[in-house]
Structure 1
Amino acid sequence: MKKIGLFFIFLFINFGALGIGRLLMENGPLTEWYMELNKAPWTPPGWVFGTAWTTIMVCFSVYMAFLYDTLTSNRIWGLFAVQFLLNISWNFIFFNQHLITLGFINLILLSFLVFYFLIAFFNTLKIKSLLVAPYAIWLCVATSLNLYILLYN
């Protein structure tokens, strides 16, 4: 029962992050600035982003519920908080401020943190650690898209 409560807490926070990120980017993907950028040929259609982030946040919420239930600590909350801030700030940095290089750095830091979650707690959570894999994979895609924009614009 405790894990279910934790799952819903993390789900609420994670979907809150998506909502805040959406607000911070305003109409980002629909702006003239973004539309005129040279984008990577592997840039997925817009609907993929929503589907991917929904899947990622559900999986990450389950992962965080297991992790926090197993290792209740301020360290876990601290790492989660940094992940939260990096996640939502990219939207503002990239889409709102058009700071492509800083957005790329932000994604690199977020990727390191998510891979840290995947690796550092693997011995504790075992196979459940793979719930972080969709997040890690998506960040590799997102980082490559951001890098392409950085290099070709």
Structure 2
Amino acid sequence: MHRFDHYLVFILLALGGGLLIGLMSPSGEWYASLAKPWFTPPNWLFGPAWTILYFLIGIAGARTFEHSRNSPLMVVWVAQLVLNFAWSPAFFGLQRPALGLVIIIALLVMILAFIGLSWRRDRLASALFIPYGLWVAYATALNAAVVAMN
């Protein structure tokens, strides 16, 4: 497989998986009825934000695969993607914000682990996860607030 193919596969995996999970777990009326904190962003922001983040996640995954495919770092990358894809079905699909909070905290830990572990090996892959980590930290605060308010 060529280098371009790795990037294409990883970007499509992250972006396509995120899109599929989003379509399978819409927020719907239940989410609209929840009390939410004052710092909840408008709904239109989530699609563009996640599109950009999934693109960055895919690039970081391809770079990690090329340089460290059989390493603990690749395991961390896969773990964060599994947790990422598990959050929407837990929060929206099962309508369990507390379960979502457990998952998103674990996701944030995996993101931070990826940033830390990849910093010396591949600073670009590490840096690509920084916006992701910031967004998920923000989303963790939102999730925690929803749990506390409902």
TM-score (norm 1): 0.89
Q: Does 1:81 align with 2:64?
A: no
Task: Tell me, in whole angstroms, the C-alpha distance in 1 between the residues paired with 2:21 and 2:69.
Answer: 27
Task: Tell me, in whole angstroms, the C-alpha distance in 1 between the residues paired with 2:125 and 2:17.
Answer: 23
Aligned to 1:116: 113
Aligned to 2:38: 41
- Asked if structure 2 preserves the Cα contact closer than 8 Å seen for 1:59 and 1:131, the reply is yes
TM-score (norm 2): 0.91
- Asked if structure 1 preserves the Cα contact closer than 8 Å seen for 2:73 and 2:114, the reply is no
Q: CA deviation at 1:67?
A: 1.6
Task: Tell me, in whole angstroms, the C-alpha distance in 2 between the residues paired with 1:128 and 1:38.
Answer: 37
Aligned to 1:22: 22
Q: Deviations over 1:31-89 (max 9, x none)?
A: 1x211211111111112111111111111111122222111216444333322221111
- Asked if structure 1 preserves the Cα contact closer than 8 Å seen for 2:112 and 2:133, the reply is yes
Q: CA deviation at 1:4?
A: 2.1
Structure 1: runs of 5 or more not aligned: none
Between Structure 1 and Structure 2, how many residues are aligned? 150
Task: Tell me, in whole angstroms, the C-alpha distance in 2 between the residues paired with 1:127 and 1:20.
Answer: 27
More divergent stretch after superposition (132-141 vs 1-10): 1-10
Query: Cα 1:89–1:24, aligned 2, differ >3 Å: closer, same or farther?
Result: farther
Structure 2: runs of 5 or more not aligned: none
Q: Does 1:107 align with 2:112?
A: no
Task: Tell me, in whole angstroms, the C-alpha distance in 1 between the residues paired with 2:78 and 2:62.
Answer: 14
Q: CA deviation at 1:127?
A: 4.1
The percent identity for this pair of structures is 26
Aligned to 1:54: 51
Matches within 5 A, 1:137-148: 137-148=134-145
Q: CA deviation at 1:136?
A: 0.4
- Asked if structure 2 preserves the Cα contact closer than 8 Å seen for 1:17 and 1:87, the reply is no
Query: Cα 1:5–1:140, aligned 2, differ >3 Å: closer, same or farther?
Result: same
Q: CA deviation at 1:128?
A: 4.0
